[in-house]
Amino acid sequence: MDARNTPEIAVQGIAASPGIAHGQVLRHIQCDLELPVYQVKPEQRAAEQERFDRALLATRQQIQRIKAEVEKNLGADEARIFDAHLLVLEDQALIGETEREFETGSINIEACFDKVAKRYIKAFSEIDDEYLRERAGDIRDVAQRVLQNLLGRVEQTLSNFEGNRVIVANDISPSETVGMDRNKVLAVITDSGSRTSHAVIVARTLRVPAVVGTRDLTKRIVDGDWVLVDGYDGAVILNPSEQTLFRYGKIQVKRRNIEQRLLEASRLPSVTLDGAGVMLRANIERTDEMEQVRSYSAKGVGLFRTEFLYLQGNRIPSEEEQFQIYKAAAEFFGDESVTIRTLDLGGDKPMPGNPGMFSHEANPFLGMRAIRFCLEHEHLFRDQLRAILRASAFGKVLLMYPMISGPEELDRANEILDECRVELRGRGVAFDEKMPVGTMIEIPSAAMLSDILAAKSDFFSIGTNDLIQYMLAIDRGNERIAHLYEPAHPAVLRMLRHIVEQAHQAGIKVCVCGEMAGDPRYVPLLLGLGVDELSMAGSLIPAVKFLIRAMNMADAKSLVAEALKQNKTAKIKALCNAFYTARMTEK
């Protein structure tokens, strides 16, 4: 049917990979494999174990081939995505649990592996941190490969189809994304997923527009339907009209011009029109991101999330292992600071390989996590603190504690840190005696006590993601109420003002490292409030720097003065949008 004879329908998803595309749909539905479950006789157990070993080997070889192909065609950085897949296969907890499940039961090995893998996938899917939550996709991808090899099935691919198409899938694995024919795939749309999934990372590398989180789109379309995909704003339009296509054609030209200007701006100083400098740093999880964030001209690291070190192998890294990683970051950035956040693990971020340390919690966001977890497991905390202290001898390292709720926790954490300093001095190990130690402000109680905490801290780092979530009692992961999560809420604005004022009265700097710092529409609000530094995903720096270079700090302060007079979120958002639009148009 001609799309022009059917009604136009707009579907809103999440913008994942920039670009605009228009074409016909190819549905790609990932279905769970139908696994046989049967009894294994004692004399067949050795053969069953050998079958599992062969499947693991075959899967490893497949992933290594994909990695080599990606490295050849896209580069080493993109190929590292598949290191995470290889780590899954080397995970002794996952493999060991499968073998124990097989030894204690009497059913076939694929049923045992599927049971254990699903347990791991569920654990990672429930983690609050978006990046770490998406690692469930890596386990799911690898598990699917292992099961296919156990069953002797041929893997599904997106490399062989007729014509140019927009791929619409319920989900898509990184290896499927890599296998896509870039000359045929116009765009990718998925019902699930997020901006940080590895499949999306590959799509961005291939410069394929992508929109994720469209929920049930695969059930509303059929092969051959026409769609327009807006990877900038997350819009998907079914059966677009001629007027819509014309409008998006103009948008696409404008977007390309903007992208070029943003790229050019990222190489220029981060200074406002009236001469105010703004420090822009990057958030990272792993050291293999360092080259990328430097390419965006990040001035060091404002947030090094260390929990990835504990989750990537489902085991506890040693002091030495952590030291080598922190040292590499310190040496790489040299005179530019690297702020290392101590472990934010526990509650909603359990390590599947260490279930003994965690118990089920009805409210994990309010449970045993971050600094609470570290103070309960001091041996882990001490290992990390010693590793960070040792790394401070090799660069400009800063340390900060997450989820501090009041002075008692901060005092105890600093007491342990002092004891680690004494221990290292006794061992004759060098470290920076004046390493700055800061506090993350992400709990309302800490915000209210910011005057007391500022007197005990060398700097503040505001984690707006959790601070807003806790202030407004909004579970960001609950899709029914996530829309109520509002950085422009009057209460949030007033709380941020209070934190900054108390910090500056104590003579310490304030950095914002949450998502709010990477949103150009809210950056003027933060700067007008007096925030000293911003830290964000490296890829967001060009857009933020572009706006900074197009604005006056005096205007940002006027924006804040006007916003503080408002009592409704919508009015504050309108002021921010008008400020942003005017500067982008003027520029």
Digitized pLDDT (tens) for each residue of the chain, 587 residues in all: 444 457 889 999 988 888 899 999 988 876 667 888 999 998 898 999 999 999 999 899 888 888 887 777 666 666 777 887 888 888 778 888 898 899 888 899 999 999 999 888 888 877 766 666 767 778 888 888 899 889 887 665 666 677 789 989 887 776 676 667 767 888 989 887 766 566 676 677 667 898 988 888 988 898 889 999 999 889 999 999 989 988 988 888 887 787 777 777 778 999 999 999 999 999 988 888 898 888 888 999 999 989 878 766 556 889 999 999 999 999 999 999 999 999 987 544 555 555 455 555 666 667 778 899 899 999 999 999 999 999 999 999 999 999 999 999 999 999 999 999 999 999 999 999 999 999 999 999 999 999 999 999 999 999 998 899 899 987 765 556 666 778 999 999 999 999 999 999 999 999 999 889 988 999 999 999 999 999 998 888 988 999 999 999 999 999 999 999 999 999 999 999 999 999 876 55
pTM for the predicted model, two decimal places = 0.70
Query: What does the pLDDT read at residue 1?
Result: 40
Pairing between β-strand 533-536 and β-strand 279-284 as defined by DSSP bridges: parallel
Query: What does the pLDDT read at residue 441?
Result: 97
Contacts of 93 (CB under 8 A, 6+ apart): 314, 315, 352, 353
149: left (phi over 0), alpha (psi -120 to 50) or beta: alpha
Query: What does the pLDDT read at residue 31?
Result: 64
**Residue 411: burial class (beta carbons within 10 Å; 0-12, 13-18, 19+):** exposed
- The reply to whether 513 belongs to the active site is yes
Query: What single-letter amino acid sits at 336?
Result: E
How far is 27 from 219, CA to CA, in rounded Å? 10
Which of the following is catalytic: 198, 374, 489, 511? Answer: 198
How far is 314 from 357, CA to CA, in rounded Å? 12
Phi, psi of 283, rounded to the nearest 5 degrees? -95, 135
Q: Which domains does the chain have, with CATH numbers?
A: 3-30+157-240 (3.50.30.10), 42-151 (1.10.274.10), 270-439+513-586 (3.20.20.60)
- Token pair 């290889």: residue: 86
Query: What does the pLDDT read at residue 139?
Result: 86
How far is 217 from 230, CA to CA, in rounded Å? 15
Which of the following is catalytic: 112, 374, 511, 513? Answer: 513
- The reply to whether 420 belongs to the active site is no
Query: What does the pLDDT read at residue 65?
Result: 83
- Token pair 């791991």: residue: 120
Query: What does the pLDDT read at residue 357?
Result: 56
First to last CA, the chain: 44
